[in-house]
Structure 1
Amino acid sequence: MNHAFTTSRRDHRTRDTISRRARRLGTVLVLLLVAGLALPVLAERRVDREILVELIPGADPDAVAQRYGCTVIDGIPQWLLYILLAPEGADVDQLVAQMNDPAETDIVSAEPHREFENPEGGQRTIGELDRNATIGDFRNQPALGTVNANGAQQQYTGRGVVVAVLDTGQTTQHPATSERIMKHSGADLAQGNGSVGVQPNAVDDDGDGDVDEMLEHGSMVTGMVNAAAPGARILPIRVLDSEGWGRGFWVAKGILHAISRGADVINLSLGMLEKSNFISKAINEARKQGVVVVAAAGNRNIGTPDYPADDSKVVSVAAVDDAKLRAPFTSYGSEIDLTAPGVQVLSTYGADGYARWDGTSFAAPMTAGAVALLLERYPGLKPDEVRDLLAATAQPDANGPEWSDLLGAGTLDVAALVTVVTGDRTSLKLSEQPGGTVVRWSPVDGATVYDLARGDVANLRHVGLTDIDLGPVTCLRDDTTTLDTLANPDPTLPAPGQAFFYVFRDDTSESGGLAYGQGSDSRYRTASGGDCNPPL
């Protein structure tokens, strides 16, 4: 019996406007220009006439839209999120202000429909093909040494963990990553041809003088996840076009798709200047399902990270070089959680090549991959616990004291991350798969055999402060860690809502007195002959 480790084309014209937040940053930008640094692109792009709203439970979206002369054109009903199309010639900002008036009791929030962009697109950089690079160079690049990943990968690879990459299309046949990409579970939400692959159109859609410049961005982000977590499965979700732009609604739907396909981690190497309550709602829903969201800080070299990296509910990642010095382009601020290498990283590019690129877009997926390693060992960790552990185990960077509060806790340390939790602890995570329920748990140091108990939630009760009484349970015996990593659903296990599960480290043989070590949540448990049906 296996108990597995798993825990556009645009239909409306867009316009460029300078946001209020950008105007607030004007003084900083002048200083950067005088210093000879590249001026960050601060244009805001909106989808013409469209408004994103979150409604209260029970509100009728069509009735709400009609009050403002609008039409509902799409939505995510289970999250009460909708797109409204304003009348031709309407002042969208004025409509948004009216919808956000306290007198409007059916609308939680309203905002113009803004677009996200890859940080590197705003910086006007592209990946540089390295024709001499090999898969060995990719697997052993200095960036991985900087974060102490190589040793950690001897024990953990992210096996059984799913990392969703919301980005441009990506090459799915690259030999370094193709076996780990969930090609048939991904999605194209960016009004393309339905494929998660790269989709060039040979048109300068955003009018910046470059054509399809972000085409392989998603491929390189995926490569960095794989570099850190070669055993993790990668869920490709296309939410940005080949120029690196994508609508907020696409990103929200991408988060929903990631949750529905069992993602444990979501990587967002994208951003915009304004906060979005619409996207924050989607991020909160992901967190409720235990999904860790990792976001790139942005490449504007300013003290305000891009959204959503400035959201306290995500893991916000800035960039350093291989010497752990701040990358000159990285955005920074008190919202940053930690840093990771993002200078001249080497990643997958095209059908079988490799390229080097600078950007926080690549620091974020390296961190997402590290999270996958952590969740392989401790699949039951909550998003806040993961973020706290990333900070607690970060290594000191090489920056001066003036950066001490602006670049998070330090630089990612993968080896420290996967060994920080006591080896006597185990954690559980359940997921529903087509064949049944998958139960994943973390191994305990020194243990090779485990027993899994399941029972009725109604019989579960605490005894004192440290012990737990399972009541009548069924025990599944002698599950080894090798079997536990197969990620095969077991159709005989009931759905998570119908049963509780409890893992025991089997310290002695079954005939030696039925002794057990620590169980889930570090509560001691000693089984007796009458505990299990059938008896052990």
Structure 2
Amino acid sequence: LVLAASIPTTLVDAAESDPRFGSATNESLPHATDHVLVKIEPDVAMVSALRDHTNVSGRWVEVPVPLGSTPGQSLELFADLEGVDLVELDYLIQLDPIDGRELGSISDEGGTVAFTPNDEFYPLQWHMPKIQAEQAWDISKGDGAVVAVIDTGVSHGGDDLDCHTFVSPFNSVTNTPGSASDDNGHGTHVAGTIAQCTDNGIGVTGVAHGATLMPIKVCDSDGSCTWSDVAQGIDWARTHGADVINISLGGSFGATILEEAVTNALAADIVVAAASGNDGSGSVDFPAAYPGVLAVGALDFNLDLAYYSQYGSEQDITAPGGDVTVDLNGDGYFDGVLQETFDGPTWDYYFFQGTSMATPHVAGAAALLRSEEPAASRGQVEDALTASAMDRGAPGWDPSFGHGSLRARSALNYLTAPPTWPAGGAITTHDVTPNAMVLEWPAARDGQGIDEYRVYRDGALIDTTGAGQRSLSVSGLQPGTAYQFSVRAFDDLGYQSPLLEDT
């Protein structure tokens, strides 16, 4: 659930062309009024005039606005100091008010629904079958993968999340490690979709219920967040072992500090999934709009784009986000995404809607892939998710659905599929002499990329070639002797094709 705001045209004077200013310099946008952000130049220990500061992210520090000054004036002041690299405002974003419906009691009438997990309310989680969750669980449950939840925190307190012990929790709002309790309810709902305890006879299920959760609190109880806290949370996830980062928040304006934190996480081979936004406009929010981030739009029960979902040129994939205004499947409940969380003191199971709810489906699926194939790179996981998505809308990629609707089992199959040979492919020979010949073979096909070809003679390995070399000169042959040559392709993850044999 995300703030969506248009970007006004007025900017701080001189910031448009001045290299000392970051991208967050518009004073008409919501921003912190008690401090600004300053990036110190490399190899500078600290600028003496900035002694009263708080480290935030990388070389960025938070500096109080001097008494009697405005944040904009402070940017001008600090930008002139020797040793200062960049300055910018600390933009504020606001989670949308939660539009949810409480499950309440459920009737036992209507017969038994057959399903794999035994969780009581799983039949109401229409969104899990829509992403092939049950089929994916036959292969992977997410064990060993660590998913950081950048949000309002995550809390125990209900009945269903107690199977998880959180790893490396961090409160970016208070700069406190060791705890990231949720005082809003948004983050706990998001975390449940990722890794809710599953097949425990109560409650609901999570996509990657074997994964480990890393709660990181970046928003306060009112859902208010600063980009500096989000950036600090991303840094924490990067340096504490996260394999996947879920960011179910965003805004229509970015910031240099945020972009740098995201870039560093991507460079560390972490899959980052972020919500595209909820105002229905044709532009994707930040940080989802940054290159390399999986921008996630929301779908309704029919896998049509939800009425509120943002879309645009950065849209990568879509997943169920729900719609609490309708009951398209006729189960007697609103078509929201169902998870356990709280509203004030009341813990229960709630139907929420939003790209915030769609994003953890994708993050959970990424955790399934990272669990099944730990050697897979960020790019390989992302390719598997997008290449295997069910095409929706216009053929191929389109700005509404991106590459299509998430299919977790298909993504696992794509990632772990062995290389294949083209139909009718065969080994051919030329330049044949009594003692030598040249073998050639077609290019094998594989979603992860071919790493090498291994060539065999009578079942014994005789040579290995790189992906770009599909021929081999063979010598030392004996006239009048029959030989059987074959080739096997290996992809970047070590999966191997069937043998391609000569005829």
Establish whether residue 378 from structure 1 lines up as the match of residue 384 from structure 2.
no
Q: What is the percent sequence identity of the aligned residues?
A: 27
Residue 339 of structure 2 corresponds to 347
Q: Is the 8 A contact 1:345 1:358 kept in 2?
A: yes
CA distance in 2, matches of 1:45, 1:139: 42
* Higher deviation after alignment, 287-296 or 87-96: 87-96
* Distance change in 2, residues 1:151/1:522 (3 Å): closer
- How far 1:333 moved relative to its partner? 0.8
Establish whether residue 356 from structure 1 lines up as the match of residue 351 from structure 2.
yes
Q: Deviations over 1:333-372 (max 9, x none)?
A: 1111111100111111238621001111010011100000
Q: Is the 8 A contact 1:74 1:82 kept in 2?
A: yes
Residue 42 of structure 2 corresponds to 57
* Distance change in 2, residues 1:385/1:402 (3 Å): closer
Residue 186 of structure 1 corresponds to 169
Q: Is the 8 A contact 1:296 1:360 kept in 2?
A: yes
* Higher deviation after alignment, 89-98 or 244-253: 89-98
1:111 to 70, 80, 88: 88
Equivalent residue letter for 1:151: Q
- How far 1:302 moved relative to its partner? 1.1
CA distance in 2, matches of 1:91, 1:197: 33
Establish whether residue 216 from structure 1 lines up as the match of residue 185 from structure 2.
yes
TM-score (norm: length of structure 1): 0.63
Residue 80 of structure 1 corresponds to 59
* Distance change in 2, residues 1:518/1:322 (3 Å): same
1:53 alignment partner, SS class: strand
* Distance change in 2, residues 1:402/1:386 (3 Å): closer
* Distance change in 2, residues 1:104/1:384 (3 Å): farther
Residue 249 of structure 2 corresponds to 270
CA distance in 2, matches of 1:135, 1:127: 21
For residues 427-442 of structure 1, what are the structure 2 equivalents within 5 Å?
A: none
CA distance in 2, matches of 1:248, 1:338: 24
Q: Deviations over 1:478-530 (max 9, x none)?
A: xxxxxxxxxxxxxxxxxxxxxxxxxxxxxxxxxxxxxx996975499xxxxxx
CA distance in 2, matches of 1:523, 1:144: 29
2:221 to 242, 246, 250: 242
For residues 194-209 of structure 1, what are the structure 2 equivalents within 5 Å?
A: 195-199=179-183
CA distance in 2, matches of 1:327, 1:23: 29
* Distance change in 2, residues 1:408/1:104 (3 Å): farther
Establish whether residue 132 from structure 1 lines up as the match of residue 105 from structure 2.
yes
Establish whether residue 159 from structure 1 lines up as the match of residue 139 from structure 2.
no
- How far 1:159 moved relative to its partner? 0.7
* Distance change in 2, residues 1:135/1:278 (3 Å): same
* Distance change in 2, residues 1:50/1:149 (3 Å): same
Q: Deviations over 1:298-353 (max 9, x none)?
A: 11111122211111121110101121111111111111111110011111123862
Q: Is the 8 A contact 2:245 2:363 kept in 1?
A: yes
Q: Deviations over 1:155-203 (max 9, x none)?
A: 1111110101111133224343222241x6212222399742233xxxx
Q: Deviations over 1:126-161 (max 9, x none)?
A: 332101359332476111111112111111111110
Q: Say which structure, 1 or 2, has more relative contact order (CA 8 Å, 6+ apart).
A: 1
For residues 391-406 of structure 1, what are the structure 2 equivalents within 5 Å?
A: 391-397=386-392, 399=393, 404-406=398-400
Establish whether residue 419 from structure 1 lines up as the match of residue 403 from structure 2.
no
Equivalent residue letter for 2:41: I
- How far 1:393 moved relative to its partner? 1.0
Q: Is the 8 A contact 2:182 2:217 kept in 1?
A: no
1:365 to 334, 347, 360: 360
Equivalent residue letter for 1:348: E
For residues 3-18 of structure 1, what are the structure 2 equivalents within 5 Å?
A: none
Q: Is the 8 A contact 1:22 1:273 kept in 2?
A: no
2:36 alignment partner, SS class: strand
RMSD: 3.3
- How far 1:106 moved relative to its partner? 4.5
* Distance change in 2, residues 1:241/1:49 (3 Å): closer
Q: Is the 8 A contact 1:338 1:391 kept in 2?
A: yes
Establish whether residue 317 from structure 1 lines up as the match of residue 296 from structure 2.
yes
* Distance change in 2, residues 1:259/1:409 (3 Å): same
Residue 457 of structure 2 corresponds to none
CA distance in 1, matches of 2:74, 2:466: 55
CA distance in 2, matches of 1:391, 1:357: 25
Where does structure 2 lack aligned partners over 5 or more consecutive residues? 11-27, 107-117, 196-205, 323-335, 420-462, 469-487, 497-503
CA distance in 2, matches of 1:406, 1:167: 25
CA distance in 2, matches of 1:99, 1:402: 48
* Higher deviation after alignment, 361-370 or 224-233: 224-233
TM-score (norm: length of structure 2): 0.67
CA distance in 1, matches of 2:384, 2:83: 39
Equivalent residue letter for 1:53: V
* Higher deviation after alignment, 54-63 or 370-379: 54-63
* Higher deviation after alignment, 107-116 or 148-157: 107-116
For residues 282-297 of structure 1, what are the structure 2 equivalents within 5 Å?
A: 282-297=261-276
CA distance in 1, matches of 2:492, 2:399: 36
Q: Is the 8 A contact 1:267 1:365 kept in 2?
A: yes
Q: Is the 8 A contact 2:101 2:351 kept in 1?
A: yes
2:127 alignment partner, SS class: helix
The total of aligned residue pairs comes to 376
1:135 alignment partner, SS class: coil
Residue 472 of structure 2 corresponds to none
CA distance in 2, matches of 1:22, 1:348: 38
Q: Is the 8 A contact 1:55 1:81 kept in 2?
A: yes
Q: Is the 8 A contact 1:172 1:181 kept in 2?
A: no
Q: Is the 8 A contact 1:138 1:347 kept in 2?
A: no
* Distance change in 2, residues 1:252/1:416 (3 Å): same
Residue 501 of structure 1 corresponds to none
CA distance in 2, matches of 1:360, 1:376: 24
* Distance change in 2, residues 1:517/1:219 (3 Å): same
For residues 473-492 of structure 1, what are the structure 2 equivalents within 5 Å?
A: none
1:84 alignment partner, SS class: strand
Residue 432 of structure 1 corresponds to none
- How far 1:464 moved relative to its partner? 6.0
Equivalent residue letter for 2:466: L
Establish whether residue 45 from structure 1 lines up as the match of residue 37 from structure 2.
no
1:174 to 158, 161, 169: 158
CA distance in 1, matches of 2:123, 2:41: 49
CA distance in 1, matches of 2:30, 2:164: 34
* Distance change in 2, residues 1:221/1:21 (3 Å): same
